A and B are shown apart, each in its own frame.
Chain A
Amino acid sequence: MKVSYYPGCTLKSNAKNFEASALCALRELGVDVQELRRWNCCGTVYSLTTDDLMRHLASIRNLIRVKEAEADSVMTLCAMCYNTLKRVNERVKADPDSLQKIHKFMDEEKIAYRGDVKVRHLLELLREDIKFEEIAKKVKKPLQALKVASYYGCLLVRPKEIGLDDMENPTVLDDLMSILGAKAVDFPYKTECCGAYQTVDKPETVADRTFSILTSARSRGAELVSVSCPLCAFNLDHRQKETAKKYSEFQKIPILYFTQLLAIAMGCGEESLRLDLHYVDPKPLLRQKGLI
């Protein structure tokens, strides 16, 4: 199976652990991942205004790059890239007039984009193309006795039109953890916003959210929290420093990308997990469970 892949900025910097683990796991699953030869920032957030088409150009350019690679769909790992690319795509498909205006502005592009690229998240590829039951057959190292709370955040599941699972009670990450042999821990804060980009100018707000989300996961018995967005990962992992300063009763908990857990289960080596990039060190827990 061959898939076109759009990484986005953060996968090449702070979230190298997300990318390296995903690529290793996909290799083990027999997927040929082809990164787009040229790509730019997706814009990170979808513009909510009716009148500002300029904000959608970055995403459209990436979708043109997919057409240039002669592909009809593109896979993302980052939840923010997934949301932004998919929403821009849906917007221009529903509004040909705005697409026409965008074409006129981007007259140097060789392809006039028609809204015909399918934007997909890795989780959709795993669930619908490879299928979870096939992944289960390829598990080399089951995540036995590991209690994992899966945090979905906002942008994989909202708004409803582009969400990849139920917007109030998603289970796709929990289902994946279960087939990998882990014990999926459900918790009420799994779709509660982590504060996102408020982390730049209001880190104390993010510390409050991190406290609520992680304390809830721990109180339900989780030993680690798995995530699917590099910004959620930063807020829930690195902002534990501020959280611990603000709340004396707070107990730190490791944060891992779901792809790192998938890579472990697929038998990938420790070098593909990039565990050096974490603030809360997950190594003691993973060693104790015999997973690294």
Chain B
Amino acid sequence: MRTSISKKKIRGDFVKKIEEISGQKLLACYQCGKCSAGCPAVGEMDILPNQVIRYAQLGFQEELLQARSVWLCASCYTCNVRCPKGIKIAEVMEAIRQVLLRKRKDHVEVPKLSAEDKACVPAIALISNFRKFTS
């Protein structure tokens, strides 16, 4: 995969938007990888949590908005509590989801869930899923 790094991307609106929504300073990350080491969802992720932060620092908007990883994160906060720099990675994941959800690009399409899918799970699962994955 060919990627290009540019000042334009790094200083662009996307980086500012992620920092603003998440309330995190992305450049605090020095890529130790502890977040990825402890993440229970990492086996299924296409971009690892520490890479998500690196991509966000560099303004790789397209790659992050297409990443499967942000939808696999269940906000368990293992990364947050282990980060030696105190960066809240789960908040960065939420910010990337929100960039899409605020444009009504829902990850879960409620009408496509079968009646059985909805009936077999408890209310708490549906409400939390829709709050995280729909606009």
Chain A residues within 8 Å of B, Cβ to Cβ = 8-10, 13-15, 41, 43-45, 47-52, 55, 78, 80, 154, 158-160, 167-168, 191-193, 195-202, 205, 208-209, 230-231, 234, 238
Collect the chain A residues with CB atoms within 8 Å of residue B23's CB: 50
Q: How large is the interface on B (under 10, 10 to 19, 20 to 34, 35 or more residues)?
A: 35 or more
Q: How far is the CB of B126 from chain A (nearest CB, A)?
A: 6
Name the CB-closest residue of B to A154. B76
Which of B40, B72, B75, B125 sits near A234, CB closer than 8 Å? B125
- In contact, A205 and B72 (Cβ under 8 angstroms): yes
Give the distance in Å from the alpha carbon of A238 to the alpha carbon of B41 in the complex. Answer: 20
Give the distance in Å from the alpha carbon of A198 to the alpha carbon of B71 in the complex. Answer: 9
Collect the chain B residues with CB atoms within 8 Å of residue A52's CB: 98
- In contact, A158 and B122 (Cβ under 8 angstroms): no
A160, A167, A198, A200: most-surrounded residue (chain B CB, <10 A): A200
Name the CB-closest residue of A to B23. A50
Q: How far is the CB of A96 from chain B (nearest CB, A)?
A: 17
Collect the chain B residues with CB atoms within 8 Å of residue A55's CB: 131
Interface CB pairs A-B, < 8 A, 21: A9-B123, A10-B122, A44-B127, A45-B128, A47-B94, A48-B22, A48-B90, A50-B21, A52-B98, A55-B131, A78-B124, A159-B80, A193-B40, A193-B78, A196-B125, A196-B128, A198-B72, A200-B126, A208-B43, A231-B124, A231-B128
Seed contacts A197-B74, A234-B122; 8 additional CB < 8 Å A-B pairs? A44-B128, A45-B128, A48-B94, A154-B77, A154-B78, A158-B80, A193-B76, A238-B120
Which of A48, A198, A199 sits near B91, CB closer than 8 Å? A48
Majority secondary structure of chain A interface residues (helix, strand, loop or mixed): loop
Known A43-B131, A45-B131, A49-B21; judge A199-B121 contact (CB<8 A).
yes
Is B20 on the interface with A (CB-CB < 8 A)?
Answer: yes
Which of B43, B122, B133 sits near A230, CB closer than 8 Å? B122
Write the B103-134 contact mask toward A (1 if CB under 8 angstroms, else 0).
Answer: 00001100001000100111111111101110
Give the distance in Å from the alpha carbon of A52 to the alpha carbon of B20 in the complex. Answer: 12
- In contact, A10 and B40 (Cβ under 8 angstroms): no
- In contact, B20 and A201 (Cβ under 8 angstroms): no
Chain B residues within 8 Å of A, Cβ to Cβ = 20-23, 40-41, 43-44, 72, 74-78, 80-81, 88, 90-91, 94-95, 98, 107-108, 113, 117, 120-129, 131-133
Give the distance in Å from the alpha carbon of A14 to the alpha carbon of B124 in the complex. Answer: 9
Q: How far is the CB of A111 from chain B (nearest CB, A)?
A: 25
Q: How far is the CB of B46 from chain A (nearest CB, A)?
A: 14
Which of A14, A192, A198, A209 sits near B123, CB closer than 8 Å? A14
Q: How far is the CB of B105 from chain A (nearest CB, A)?
A: 15
Q: How far is the CB of B91 from chain A (nearest CB, A)?
A: 4
Collect the chain A residues with CB atoms within 8 Å of residue B40's CB: 192-193, 209
- In contact, A200 and B125 (Cβ under 8 angstroms): yes
Q: How far is the CB of A175 from chain B (nearest CB, A)?
A: 22
Shortest Cβ-Cβ A-B pairs, 10 listed:
A193-B76, A14-B122, A48-B94, A197-B129, A158-B77, A197-B128, A200-B129, A50-B23, A44-B128, A154-B76
- In contact, A41 and B127 (Cβ under 8 angstroms): yes
B75, B108, B122: most-surrounded residue (chain A CB, <10 A): B122
Collect the chain B residues with CB atoms within 8 Å of residue A202's CB: 72
Give the distance in Å from the alpha carbon of A87 to the alpha carbon of B81 in the complex. Answer: 15
Give the distance in Å from the alpha carbon of A198 to the alpha carbon of B108 in the complex. Answer: 10
- In contact, A197 and B125 (Cβ under 8 angstroms): yes
- In contact, A231 and B95 (Cβ under 8 angstroms): no
Q: How far is the CB of B23 from chain A (nearest CB, A)?
A: 4
B21, B44, B117, B132: most-surrounded residue (chain A CB, <10 A): B132
A8, A43, A202: most-surrounded residue (chain B CB, <10 A): A202
Q: How far is the CB of B14 from chain A (nearest CB, A)?
A: 16
Q: How far is the CB of A131 from chain B (nearest CB, A)?
A: 28
Collect the chain A residues with CB atoms within 8 Å of residue B127's CB: 9, 41, 43-44
Give the distance in Å from the alpha carbon of A9 to the alpha carbon of B124 in the complex. Answer: 7
Which of A43, A199, A208 sits near B125, CB closer than 8 Å? A199
